[in-house]
Structure 1
Amino acid sequence: MNAPAENLDGDIGWFSRHAASLDSSANDADAVLGQLASIGLFEIGVPRVLGGSGGTTGDALEAIANVAEHSLTAAFVFWGHRTFIEYLLQTPNEILRESWLPLLLQGRFAGATGLSNAMKFLSGIEALQVSASPRGADWRLNGRLPWVTNLRKAGFIVAAAAARDNKAAPAIVAITNDMSGVTRSEDLNLIALRGGNTAAITIDNAIIGSEQILHENAREFCPLVRPAFLGLQIGLSIGLGRIALRKAREHSHGAHSILLPRVDALSAELEGIAGNIHEGLAGNRFIDEPSALFRIRIRLAEIVQTALGLELDAVGGRAYLHDQSGGFERRWREGAFIPVITPSLTQLQGELARHTACHRQ
């Protein structure tokens, strides 16, 4: 199932060598996309007829997980870019797909998923942050996207949901950095993952035409792409959990060998969940059962925290020594990001609670 990602270790050493820099600074931020593209990662799960290497969404998830073992920053960029590619695969707008897909597969332009707001809107968590008003045959956009990753300054295209004031359904639109009225902020002052080109976008009277509409109805499009949006995102947790457990196992000798049963049990649970995700994505189960994917995301975040705790227990005091921690301090910061990635664990738990309450009525 995950063959396309199995043989990448020999090719992605760059991410291990630059993991600390990508976490703490923006020095290598603009190199990430090209590095990912150079080993064909964006092509995984994209049909060959569209320029990809074939395979499944599950294969793309495993590729993201593989990168996350080396650098969560790089994997986060990978997720955002690959998710926009997924939007292009699902859009009925063939002109938009034909224009942008080759550029994104080659890493010549940055794709960003700005649909976190839309996913929360569909769950009743928050209002849409971008509005659209008719301007002849075009639309005038206004609003703000406060947190988007992979906004490479050299050029980006980002998806956003726009509430239309003519009572039509919200639309999913594609916004580019060179549009008049689109402004990228300076990079957000993050405590980690600083090399991911994460910034805010302000949209002030930007004009788009029909050629920039990914879908006319967000309520139809978002449930269709949500399994890939969340499924690919889960690759971050799987990868970070795997590397933490592997490090814990490596250091569980002597007195620390008492940790091995817990490490083995958690590893088995992690891989079992990964298998369930693959089956659900392949069978399109999560389109009609999004709550199952929500529960998986919540449990994996818990597994990541436990895995990092086991790594800390196994490494001991050396985890606090820069020259002996083996990257633990970076993984600890990366792990702190997993619960707050949109949709956050709190938002997912709230959605599950509402779902349960509705079924009890």
Structure 2
Amino acid sequence: MKTLKINDKESHYFDISETERIEDFPYSLRVLLESLIRQKNDKNIDQAYIQAIKDYLKREVGQETVFLPSRVVLQDFTGVPAIVDLAAMRDAMLKLGKNPELINPEIPVDLVIDHSVQVDFQGNEQAFLLNSKKEFERNRERYEFLKWAEQSFDNFRVVPPATGIIHQVNIEYLSEVISEKDGLLYPDSVFGTDSHTTMINALGVLGWGVGGIEAEAVMLGEPSSLTVPEVVGVRLIGKLGVFATATDLALTVTKILRDEKVVGKFVEFFGEGLKNLSLADRATIANMAPEYGATCGYFPIDNETLKYLRATNRSEEIVARVDAYAKANKLFYDDSYQPHYSKVIDINLEKVETRLSGPSRPQDMLELGDLSHNFEKFVEQQKN
């Protein structure tokens, strides 16, 4: 463990910078490695799981390891059943004559209420208030339960309705990128009960979607099993043209990566084109990971990350922490050295053009000029 002084404040962290050939590891695997080393003693993590990550450089992927993210984010559709399960566990503890308050999430859990939102009123100044009132009438029992849960469980917060979509809230408010607890610094990482939790990877935060049972297990301190993945590097070249949008880029990336069959793999973006993508652009690409089949589409921490943290009103203390820690622990993007990837795919941003997708699948991409022919072909298929 090392000491890091940031603005006259001393904190501690588990150092991975001295790991043999650390620069050769993809940044996403460095986050996994740090998590295992930091929690090795507290969670009785087998040394073999740490070695499995290190063996990546020997091209020995597929070995079993574990991952315990630093927090969990739930949406209300899948999250409510998980919290009901915790409440049921408390009832069971009470029947056994034990202390029910022993049942608590071991890591921070945020539940964002967004999936129950419906629009009944529109086109007038009172629409927002009327919709909010209707929403509370419809969901009164659920909201009362969640309010009880927030007051009863430790490490559990509820983000109220009308705040925003879960992924927006996660990236704009909940994540600090580098967290601090009791003077210990560590990378933020997250599991979510929504497949598009992957959007958070745009911020340099490793995370992906899991099922409700897996989320519950992690909430209660149980590491999640996974095999060491192949990490596909996507080298970004140049910058987007004047008329190309983030959507055009996301559809292009989705088409290319689906053709490359990245299912079950980590995808990590790098290259000189990285600096030409705003964090909003990165979020669009990272959000599409379920569509191109990867576990995550990871963007390392860099100056764009710091810029975004300031733009979303994070404190200068948080920004300084992210900057200092990421650089000290080899998690800050270094364009002078390319990590070892299982495979490298080049994407020239300058060649991205206006694209359309569909009508039913995002990977069914076509150029604007082909729209008429494709539409007629689709209509004929439906007739037949």
TM-score (norm 1): 0.29
If asked which structure has higher relative contact order (CA below 8 Å, sep 6+), I would say 2
> Which has the larger share of helix?
1
> Which has the larger share of strand?
2
